[in-house]
Amino acid sequence: MAGNVYKSPLTPAVFHILLALSTQNRHGYGIMKQVEMDSEGVVTMGPGTLYGSISRMIEAGLICEAEPDELESKDGERRIYYTITSSGTTLLQTEISRLRQIIKRAKKIKLAGVKLQII
């Protein structure tokens, strides 16, 4: 599976996983919950999609396993936390800039003479 290259525009799964990991290291279930929260329930991921994406994103160097610290392993369960890499952060920033540009342009569009209401 070598040779995974991600570039903007990202798929919703990759974008939301990067976004979820941009604030703190999380395990699989934590990522799923954060994605749900970030997207206000619009994007939901099953374990198959999540771990398939994680596998390819690790391969592409966007995320990696985090060093387990005291706080993360206190429940005594075998949890693997993931962290975003510098390449992942750069790609996320690029994608956010792209989305901002789209929003900026969309705000100028008038549909049937009425300006779009974008919050």
* Per CB under 8 A, 67 contacts another protein: no
Whole-angstrom distance, CA of residue 3 vs CA of residue 60: 7
Report the site for another protein in 34-53 (rule: CB under 8 A): 46-52
- Nearer Cβ to another protein (48/113): 48
Q: How far is the CB of 48 from another protein (least distance, A)?
A: 3
Q: How far is the CB of 31 from another protein (least distance, A)?
A: 9
Whole-angstrom distance, CA of residue 15 vs CA of residue 91: 9
Q: How far is the CB of 1 from another protein (least distance, A)?
A: 6
Whole-angstrom distance, CA of residue 21 vs CA of residue 17: 6
Whole-angstrom distance, CA of residue 63 vs CA of residue 26: 11
3-class secondary-structure state, position 109: coil
Which residues would be at the binding site for another protein (CB under 8 A)? 1, 27-29, 32, 46-52, 54-55, 77-80
